[in-house]
A and B are shown apart, each in its own frame.
Chain A
Amino acid sequence: MEQTKIQTQTLTQTLTQTLTLNEKRLLIALNSLKQTGPGPLAEELATTEEAVIQYAHLCAGKGLAAVDRDVAVAYHLTGEGETYAQNGLPERQLLDSFEERIPMKELQQHPLARIGIGWMRKKGWVTIKGGIVEKAGDAPRGEDEAALQDLSASKKGLQMLIKRGLIAEEESVSHTIRITPEGEAMVAAGLDLAEEVGTLSREQIISGEWKNLKLRRYSVSTLPRRVFPGKIHPYQQLLTEMRRILLNMGFTEIYGDVVQSSFWNFDALFQPQDHPAREMQDTFFIDVRRECPEGWEKVRDMHEQGGGTSSTGWGGAWSRDTAEGCVLRTHTTGLTIKHLHDNPEPPVKAFSIGRAYRREAIDPTHTPEFEQLEGVVMDEGVTFRHLLGFLKEFYRQMGFDDVRFRPGYFPYTEPSVEPEVWVDGLGWVELGGAGVFREEVTVANGLACPVLAWGLGISRLAMLRMNLKDLRLLYRSDVDWVREYPLADAHRAGGR
């Protein structure tokens, strides 16, 4: 028994400390009124009714007062409704303006014709035939007309008039505030009404006056207003993370043109000129031409007969004209091969992260542009085994510990490999493609060393890691998604 009493006292003390001065004043005023609307309290506290309701809600949150909210709906005539209430609805006025029948043309002269004719027809008061408007029956007074005279006469009529904008609905909210027994007990115990201070002023701090002040206590149980910081896009966080991994692994970054000649995008990569990817169907072509670089004949010879390697080539005639046509790059590999062509001395380790373009309609899992990551290693003595080594390390850095390799097929690599990573709940997931550049590619571009290459569609990884169902969210982002997506998750999505 004694125990419980002490606990109650402590609780009351703590509660008293968290009350603001305004809440205390409200409680004292309310204690004498017991139950009231906000008006008298506002007068007593010399503040607005809104402020009173706010204080009352805060007290209610502490169980010291209660606030009842009552919503009443009131109806009143609009300006237009007012006019018709005096003169009758337009259709009634129109109907009364002629005898049995009237030519349409003549009726249209009436100032209310535009509104009235339609309603007369709708209500079946008239028929219109051969340009003549003729009364049909005796047009009884409708429920809407009754409601127009007396708003309480007909509910149905009221609704009809609301729809026509002749009557407006207005909600009015009233509040009743009353004190609870706990509140009464607290007032009875006495409330300290000393002035409380919010933010300390410069003078209060340097003069030492703060020592004599009562500082308002803030509640730690109420969450603050949510604010949103400036933020790098979660998807960009992922791209930046991957860039960091490759820079750490000693790779040089490549960045380049969105517009590529077919020569660099396809031919230099030994993509045959009749390959389906080179058709208008799959690729964005543009009306721009770029000359083939010096030494293009080596690429031609490679396509036509294997260019002195053990390759047969594709056979047929290679067209320089076709190679000069331009496209929006279908992959970033065109940049890569040009970089190697311009920097043929080993070792070269290079990567790029950039948009690639495919002629695909936008839907939840396809966008015509998407980010692609690509890395190459050119050096003496590098082998397929080293490619697997790079892939394994790269995916490990990305946070995938289990990687397996399966045969794959890509037109410009041989051997080709499809790396798969283990994802709990999904199993083995194919993530990118890789291979050793075909000799038809390296020799045609003047490269003496083997080139290991791998690529990865990052939007796919983003979907996997950021748990996205819709790729479009990356490019047409919901601002709230960016605001709410925690930075730490974006980083986790990018690697370890």
Chain B
Amino acid sequence: MPIITLPYEYLETLVGTDRETILARIPMFGADIERIEEDHADVEFFANRPDLYSTEGVARALRGFLDIETGLPSYEVAPSGIEFSVDPGLAAIRPYLGSAVIRNVRLDEDSIVSLMGLQEALHWAVGRGRKKVAIGIHDLARITPPFRYFAADPATAFVPLDFDREMTLDGILADHPKGRDYAHIVQAYPRYPLIVDAHDQVLSFPPIINGELTRVTTETTDILLDTTGTDRRAVMTVVNIICTAFAEMGATIESVHVDGEEMPSLAPSERTISVAECRKLLGIDLSAEDLAALLEKMRFGAVPEGADSVHIQIPCYRADIMHDWDVFEDAAIACGYGAIEPALPRTFTVGKEHPVTRVMDLVRTLMVGLGFQEMMPFTLTNERILFANMRRKKDPAVLQLMRPISEEQTVVRTAILPMLAEILQFNVHRELPMRLFAVGDVVQEAATHQHAAAVSMHPDADFSEIFAAADVLCRELGLAYSVAESDDPAFIPGRRGDIQVEGATVGVFGELHPDVLGAFEFDQPVSALELDLRAVLQSPSRRDTP
């Protein structure tokens, strides 16, 4: 989640109180303080509150939370008379455009950096990596309205930001660092989105890069904002967040005429909420007046309507209010989570364990009794460990990860024994005997079931030892089992057995084949067993049912 840098002096000026008070209260507002530095604090705000990704936005919220200035912040918007057209040819590519004019801006190097930070955080949180929304901020003095947003020929050329030569749109996707990062968003289309002015000068190639022409500098006083994207609501939210942040700095906002619509309006949206429903959710006693006062602290406009309703105005920059409960959460935050007395309900219920974990616990008890130590290996592994090292054919039921993160972990285990062998390999230098076991999930045909496995490594580890352990496990788990000669290639022929229940093989044990020992770099014999616990969970001979 985005980490926002809050310079103390600027923040103190905007909020109207000292840094100590602010830092003490920020965690209870819903943010994590990452670092406290000499002149600033780095604070992480949540993904659902993009309006807090600027110092101005944070100050606005804190003034309410700290009772310095409550209620709905209102913003004036005057028409700029500027026209912006949208080409219907963009419908399938990137159809929505939001825009505004921001005047009387005073920028220094620091505020340009923080403006870029806001843009990046919005691209991440709302823009889904620029796919859903991308933002362009331009020096209005360099360009001439009306502006045009249209689907352009990929061969069109302009000078992109940070470059000193013209490049074609295709060239930018291939060679410009930003072009390479975001090419995947537009590459599939025959024409690309482009914004130009009355003289066909290029402002921006959304969502990739702006033109060098409209670069914002400390000289800039008037800004043209464009936001483009695939979701109208998100495109307008971003316009609102940026415009109101500038307005908090003292800039004036003017609307733009986009295809017949005057935008932005920066007007609040409205809802009527039920006080009873809020009480029911939070479990605290509140009157309509109490609720309204709490919401005013969170910068809503709130007016009680009778005993059970509050009519609220939601600030235009709040992207997260989808449901009445989102409003109730704000009331709880304003109230302070610490002020809500925890209580336990009186409902009576009886705890009940799951049969699978009960059987796994039985296995643990038995294996520990036999002197084995438990291990908890990963369930993700690879075919080398699972099959090749074990001299086993690849199990066609093995589940492959579509995009593994390393060559070590490409599949989900179908057996646990190979994982134990791998752990033995990490521990070969440890004192012998080493007797290890594990119990847990395996996946075959995308279905999860449970296995138990054990290994014993020492100079006298042999068939008899592991046969005895397998016998204990089967007897104690209540399996009516028999043993047949096995043909599992992981074991030495003549020293391996299949555990069978009602004719079906449910387990195997024996002495690991010397080639398996070699594959895991063991210099000692290892005897091993594996048992499918479905045999236990489904066994008809079991006397008690978990």
Contacts and interface: CB of A to CB of B under 8 A. Distances in A.
Interface of A: 228-233, 235-236, 240, 243, 246-259, 274, 276, 280, 284-288, 306, 309-316, 326, 328, 347, 349, 355, 357, 359-362, 367-369, 377, 379, 381-386, 388-393, 404-409, 414-417, 430, 436, 438-440, 450, 474-480, 482-483
B165 interface: no
Contacts of A306: 322-323
A274 B132 contact: yes
A339 to B, nearest CB: 11
A385 B325 contact: no
Given A246-B351, A385-B283, A475-B376, A404 B443 contact: no
Given A258-B443, A311-B322, A406-B28, A385 B374 contact: no
Contacts of A415: 281-282, 325, 328-329, 332-333
List of 7 A-B pairs having minimum Cβ-Cβ separation, nearest first: A383-B283, A385-B283, A407-B30, A247-B351, A409-B46, A415-B329, A388-B342
A475 B377 contact: yes
Contacts of A405: 337-338, 340
Given A306-B323, A415-B325, A406 B337 contact: yes
Contacts of A369: 378-380
Interface in B342-401: 342-345, 347-354, 356-357, 361, 364, 367-380, 399-401
Contact of B352 (A252, A286, A406): A252
Q: Which of B271, B283, B344, B435 gathers most chain A CB within 10 Å?
A: B283
Contact of B353 (A243, A276, A388, A483): A243
B39 interface: no
Contacts of A476: 377-378, 422-423, 426
B436 interface: yes
B364 A389 contact: no
A287 B403 CA distance: 10
B501 to A, nearest CB: 22
Given A259-B399, A368-B409, A386-B283, A477 B28 contact: no
A407 B374 contact: no
Contacts of B426: 476, 478
Which size class do B's interface residues fall under? 35 or more
A286 B401 contact: yes
Contact of A409 (B47, B129, B356, B370): B47
B361 to A, nearest CB: 7
Contact of A235 (B129, B370, B376, B422): B376
A270 to B, nearest CB: 10
Interface string B414-450: 0000000011001100110011100001010011100
B459 interface: no
A250 B430 CA distance: 43
B403 A280 contact: yes
Contacts of A450: 280-281
B30 A409 contact: yes
B405 interface: yes
Nearest to B47: A409
B419 to A, nearest CB: 9
Contacts of A386: 283, 342-345
22 contacts: A231-B368, A232-B364, A232-B374, A248-B351, A257-B447, A258-B441, A259-B443, A276-B129, A314-B322, A315-B233, A368-B380, A379-B347, A388-B343, A391-B342, A407-B332, A408-B30, A414-B329, A439-B323, A476-B426, A477-B423, A479-B430, A482-B375
